[in-house]
Amino acid sequence: MGKPLKFSPAATLFFFILAMPAVSLARLNQQIEVLVWQFTRPADFLAKLEDLFNLYANRVYRKGSEVTPASMVPAYHVAPLVLRQLEISLRAPCKQHPAAAMALVTALWAESMLEERLLATTLLGNIPLNPPEPVIECLHSFARPETDTQVLDALLDQGGRGLRQEQSDRWLELIESWSGDPSPGYQGMALRAILISARDEHFSNHPPLFRIFSRLLQVASSAIQAELQATLLGLLRGFPQETVYLLRQVLPLSNNPTTHRLVRLSLSHVPVEIQDGLRQALQAQKTAYKSAD
């Protein structure tokens, strides 16, 4: 027998696209309309949803494929259009039947496939917040450091969207609780939530985000160094002036070498016109260390 064929990444992508089932928007919307009728019956909804996902599943991603999925969670790999149309069609039922929506979120989250969990996060973000406690309890229960990163980011971003935009104080309480946990995993989760909040153009309560980030940056555990750096760079992109001001305040307060290393690494990402002040703060701290020795 000859050697097995190997394809370049470009060729693999080409075959992947060819294998994707064609999606007729009109037919898809008809299928989703049938699904919506099962909204208040989670078991029936899940059964119909599985049929829908199987119909549009991408077979290239089945076992033995060389294509590597972005998430470690098993997935149908349906076309993004399918999930998008589902999300649009289920917004109104979430508003009209919040208790049923919460039951459906819980049922979807208990499933093992990526698309089911992603849909759960979207539905959670559309549930009315009167009262907000059921949504907050879901976020507390579902958000775990060991959760797959793609699912966790979707939960914080989409699942927390309503709370973040409508009751920012309660959203910030969640971040505070994660940041105050001694576990690096929960602290890293708080940093993810800070970055997601900073990127949300509908979120405006930024001072508490900087306060929480400042505290975590001063401690700067090596276990969350990657999350600290990603959050710092994200804040610098969105709020350069405010972030540089924060860094200049943090430097004299922390004698943590990891903190100073993160600030030095971020310097090249600071706009040129405001770099000098941060350089001076770094130099002043370096001089203070030498004097202390």
C-alpha torsion sign, points 38, 43, 49, 54: negative
> For tokens 């405001």, what's the residue?
274
Per-chain mean pLDDT for the chain: 88
Say how far apart CA 148 and CA 125 lie, in whole Å. 19
Q: What is the mean pLDDT of residues 10-24?
A: 49
Q: Determine the pLDDT at residue 289.
A: 58
Residue 65 has pLDDT above 90, yes or no: no
Residue 70 scores a pLDDT above 90: no
To the nearest whole percent, how much of the chain has pLDDT over 70?
Answer: 86
- Cβ-defined contacts of 178-181 (< 8 Å, 24+): 178/143, 179/212, 179/215, 179/216
- Indicate where the chain has its CATH 1.25.40 domain(s): 167-293
Residue 92 tokens read as 């109104």
Q: Read off the pLDDT of residues 107-164 as tens digits, 9 standing for 90 and up.
A: 999 999 999 999 999 999 999 999 999 999 999 999 999 999 999 999 999 999 999 9
pLDDT at 18 over 50: no
Q: Which fold has domain 167-293?
A: 1.25.40
Q: How far apart are CA 76 and CA 98, in angstroms?
A: 27
More confident residue, 120 or 290: 120
Distances in Å between the alpha carbon of 180 and those of 141, 164, 207?
17, 19, 17
Nearest to 228 by CA among 172, 170, 184: 184
pLDDT at 61: 47
pLDDT score of 281: 86
Q: What is the pLDDT of residue 35?
A: 94
Over residues 225-263, the pLDDT tens digits come to 999 999 999 999 999 999 999 999 999 988 888 999 999
